[in-house]
A and B are shown apart, each in its own frame.
Chain A
């Protein structure tokens, strides 16, 4: 059975590559990280088929982990009541041994979100999870795989032993969230792309860097900016040119800012600005923007000017990459400081 991880670039049709595989009689399990993404995937399936096929299930990761794996197979005896998502883990739970109840479950009988996967692994439930997946599905898809971290990454690796076709898609450089964290567990997972791939290969997955290496969304102009500026490989299916530049003229800044057809993307705290605004990190997976204006905070503005964007901290760089690659049309950059001044003056 094919077990493949496709590393995709932004706007290359990750979601479509999953949707294309679904038809009326599919017995397909689709796991995404966020609820937002789950809703989007469901909508896309409904657009295509008019309904979610009977044999197909779309779960957000924690629903899958808790309601499909843990609860049916191991929940009856433990009498737990839901999940505790607080981070970090309470100190006393951190110090417990991995064969004790307290290691996984809090005082109110809730499971620690970061250790559900670990519980399944440590208590030998994985073979039953695999059996259960094989019973209901012929095909497993995991979207946004780069966000799986710590015990959750280990769990996904364990699932490589499932005797059904598996397709994991993600974009290493769009890693902006972690499903969970747990001390030293897989702490350095996302430091280097080659090491990351090695772990997946060892688990039994093959790596595919070709299938989704070209973006439909972004024009070659944006792609070459991302490759040269951020050092992230991305190519385009398109041949048209768009404008990519730093806006410096105050009047033009004002014009871009007040134009609601251009989305303004901020490093953070976009809520303190009015109009069509959003944070970089929140736009992952969104595909409805035309022209985009990326507002650079002091750190990134400095790096932009000195041509050292590629050296930014990985999380910041990844978020910036996400923001830049939202644009189907033009991509503008504006310094947040200058924008603020302009706003204060007017």
Chain B
């Protein structure tokens, strides 16, 4: 089975130089807005389709990396130093000599496809003249695109080496996406010989229609005849569409279309007719929660195709196994892979309730807390302590529920996220907060907790450090219990009351002070 092993990108959109490896099954690309998730799918699609027309319509100006243009002007302008776009798709199938050769920047004799968008050598003279002008005129118009296999052989959309299908929910109603979808699933379902036969039959049927049904009309027209158009623009493949329960799938809502198209594509994998690579662009858009869950189960049940998904959704990335994730960071050109994560941790996030994993993995500094009370109060405590807000310092607070700290800590270790864990000592500081995490702490991961076993939870600490406020707030009225008992019984409520009434004048427990200081070190 053909699949993409590696993608290498040079000077394309936000990537100056970028390389990412894929597995033969599911790959989820997760990342912030502008991290380049869509550009990766776009690059793969361009190379797979081999359509010069499509790429030149988009144009070099919007595809060429902006920094490479700036550097070109800084580095002294010459024809040789003009930046080129290279998109290299390294493939798994090493049995076809037409695909194998050294036409790639790895300089290895391997299988793959290569798109090059470069200044035309035939126009070198003209380009040199443009460059000689005393201004920042970049010769975009002189660029041409070519598609070659690693063998050096030119290919085009007519000869596709990688059967690749994109389902992009935001583009799903565009004419191009619609055509490409139908064409790809049709071609992958019906083999070449059968397609040619059907096309031929369709043309003959049109002729018969004219003979049988238009005859009486035409008989009155003398030398003229009405006929049914045929030819390259009017044939079976331009007319064919896909319907489900008598409804053309193009006429469904966007969300439903996205679901049906993905599902249908995934079922098209009987023997060799499968689509090699399925590209899913943010499938969470337009999908209801229920449909998203159905879609996820369809995807995870599919083992025939390579699937590459760009997503913002924690649900998708965790449910499809975090170990398949590739994390893009807008500040770095190196993707991070989560495949080193232990199987049990990956499984944990698959089963755990809907969570904030994506928020966590996309952060640089995180404070993990046990529950909602800490979560609500920490914002106020942080501002009190530092005079700045959490957002200003890009520190994220995530409430994880006591027992799963270790899962997040493992993730933090893999991704090198600076993580402060704030937890209760539960009356056994040494055992619960020190010995427990020996294998998990590192220079970037630290556990903070009160060392005094008498101060065994967050509420006890808050009460003791802010006794006057708490006594005042949590006694009288309907409250029968002592203030501390009330706080322990109504953790979230009492935390909310504290934030709401005394945001400015709370005393910060010492271990939390330490955590706040450490996270910003």
Contacts and interface: CB of A to CB of B under 8 A. Distances in A.
Interface of A: 55, 57, 67-68, 71-76, 79, 128, 131-132, 135-136
A41 to B, nearest CB: 18
B152 interface: yes
B101 A72 contact: yes
Nearest to A74: B102
A103 B370 CA distance: 75
Given A68-B97, A72-B109, A76-B101, 10 more contacts: A71-B101, A72-B97, A72-B100, A72-B150, A73-B102, A73-B109, A76-B104, A76-B107, A131-B109, A132-B109
Closest 8 CB pairs of A and B: A72-B101, A71-B152, A72-B151, A76-B103, A75-B152, A136-B97, A76-B102, A72-B152
B103 to A, nearest CB: 5
A67 B151 contact: yes
Contacts of B153: 67, 71
B103 A75 contact: yes
B121 interface: yes
A23 to B, nearest CB: 18
12 contacts: A71-B151, A72-B101, A72-B102, A72-B103, A72-B150, A75-B102, A76-B102, A76-B104, A76-B107, A76-B152, A131-B109, A135-B100
Interface in B69-106: 94-95, 97, 100-104
Contacts of A135: 94, 97, 100
A136 B101 CA distance: 13
Contacts of A55: 95
Query: Most chain-B CB neighbours within 10 Å: which of A67, A75, A76, A128?
Result: A76
A153 B272 CA distance: 42
Interface in B108-126: 109, 121
A67 B150 CA distance: 11
A198 to B, nearest CB: 34
Nearest to A75: B152
B121 A79 contact: yes
Contacts of B103: 72, 75-76
Contact of A57 (B97, B100, B101, B152): B97
Contacts of A75: 101-103, 152
Contacts of A73: 101-102, 109
Contacts of B102: 72-76
Contacts of A136: 95, 97
Contacts of A57: 97
Nearest to B101: A72
Interface secondary structure of B, over-half rule: loop
A57 B96 CA distance: 11
Interface string B304-318: 000000000000000
B484 to A, nearest CB: 75
A28 B97 CA distance: 12
A241 to B, nearest CB: 50
Query: Most chain-A CB neighbours within 10 Å: which of B100, B151, B152?
Result: B152
A123 to B, nearest CB: 13
Contacts of B100: 72, 132, 135
A79 B118 CA distance: 13
A73 B104 CA distance: 11
A327 B151 CA distance: 44
B108 to A, nearest CB: 11
Contacts of A72: 97, 100-103, 109, 150-152
Nearest to A57: B97
Query: Most chain-A CB neighbours within 10 Å: which of B97, B103, B104, B107?
Result: B97
B109 A128 contact: yes
Nearest to B153: A67
Contacts of A74: 102
B141 to A, nearest CB: 22
A128 B97 CA distance: 13
A136 B93 CA distance: 12
Query: Most chain-A CB neighbours within 10 Å: which of B94, B151, B153?
Result: B151
Contacts of B101: 71-73, 75-76
Query: Most chain-B CB neighbours within 10 Å: which of A71, A72, A74, A79?
Result: A72
A74 B103 CA distance: 9
A92 to B, nearest CB: 22
Nearest to A131: B109
A329 B201 CA distance: 47
Contacts of B152: 67, 71-72, 75-76
Nearest to B150: A72
A68 B151 CA distance: 8
A74 B109 CA distance: 10
Nearest to B114: A76
Query: Most chain-A CB neighbours within 10 Å: which of B94, B101, B104, B121?
Result: B101
A135 B104 CA distance: 19
Nearest to A72: B101
Contacts of A76: 101-104, 107, 152
A178 B150 CA distance: 31
A152 B488 CA distance: 91
B152 to A, nearest CB: 4
Nearest to B121: A79
A275 to B, nearest CB: 40
B121 A132 contact: no
A79 B103 CA distance: 11
Contacts of A79: 121
A277 B103 CA distance: 48
A76 B95 CA distance: 21
Contacts of B95: 55, 136
A71 B97 CA distance: 12
B196 to A, nearest CB: 15
A9 B519 CA distance: 88
